[in-house]
Amino acid sequence: MTIHIGAAPGQIAETVLMPGDPYRARWAAQTFLDDAILVNEVRGMLGYTGTWKGNRVTIQGSGMGMPSLSIYANELIRDFGAQTLIRIGSCGGMQAEVNLRDVVLALTASSLSTPSSGIFRDLNFAPAANYNLLRAAAIAATDRGVKTHVGGIYSTDVFYDERPDLTEQMTRHGILAVEMETAELYTLAARHRRRALAVLTVSDHLQTGEELPSEERERSFGDMVEIALEAAFA
């Protein structure tokens, strides 16, 4: 048990999927895991452990933004021995070829700052995904017939961004999508020598203003969860 995770020793699996929304953690656990049990509900940040095809998996909500994710990822790694951490969440498309419902596999994650920025001082650290996870996820997505993009994303500190100039430059330099957590996850995984990946569903688009209707999100998010699980145990 830690300050933010109330699980008992042995209740957290070595493989952890991390959606931002705790209710999405509950939905994913109930939908994809066998014998899922609630192992954390501190501050309403739900976490479940069960099995997928005989493999133990924990699905733990991370909250919104890098500071929140950093708390949960640190405790999962340092106190519960998590070895593989896969973010599953939504993102906003930034390129014309990236459409609603597509899956984005984050090769790298750019940011203006992260909770770990103070460690590096003047160094611009380049956080990146684990290659084996990335490759396995790409294969799983192809096998499922899901349109997938692999490349750089942007992890932002703010949801209501007022930097159109920055968005323009990121689009110009090929950034596929924007979200709020991955850069810190990849940095922590590098620090602690763990495997990390972000598998993201495009739920809206910065260029077109399109948004995925809420009733259609479940099926699209289901593809994302299954891709993440296949990658974790490939």
What would the pLDDT profile of 82-96 be if each residue is shown by its tens digit?
999 999 999 999 999
Examine the residue annotation and report whether 204 is marked as an active-site residue of this protein.
Answer: yes
pTM: predicted TM-score of the whole model, two decimal places:
0.96
* Rounded-to-integer distance, Cα 216 and Cα 221, Å: 9
Q: Looking at 34, 157, 204, 223, which residue is catalytic?
A: 204
Say if residues 7 and 40 touch (Cβ distance below 8 Å).
Answer: yes
Report residue 25's pLDDT band, with 50, 70 and 90 as the boundaries: very high
Position 163: which residue type?
A: R
Percent of the chain exceeding pLDDT 90 equals: 91
* Rounded-to-integer distance, Cα 191 and Cα 174, Å: 27
pLDDT of residue 212: 86
Q: Which of 127, 113, 106, 114 is nearest to 177 (CA)?
A: 106
Q: What are phi and psi of 38, to 5 degrees?
A: -75, 120
Say if residues 101 and 220 touch (Cβ distance below 8 Å).
Answer: yes
Classify domain 15-232 at the CATH topology level. Rossmann fold (3.40.50)
pLDDT of residue 213: 80
Of 20-29, 151-160, 216-225, least confident by mean pLDDT is: 216-225
Cα–Cα distance list, 118 to 11, 113, 121, 125, 225 (Å): 33, 9, 5, 11, 33
Tokens of 24: 């999405």
* Rounded-to-integer distance, Cα 201 and Cα 111, Å: 19
DSSP for residue 203: E
Which residues touch 155 (CB under 8 Å, ≥6 apart)? 66, 109, 110, 111, 114, 178, 179, 180, 181, 182, 183, 184
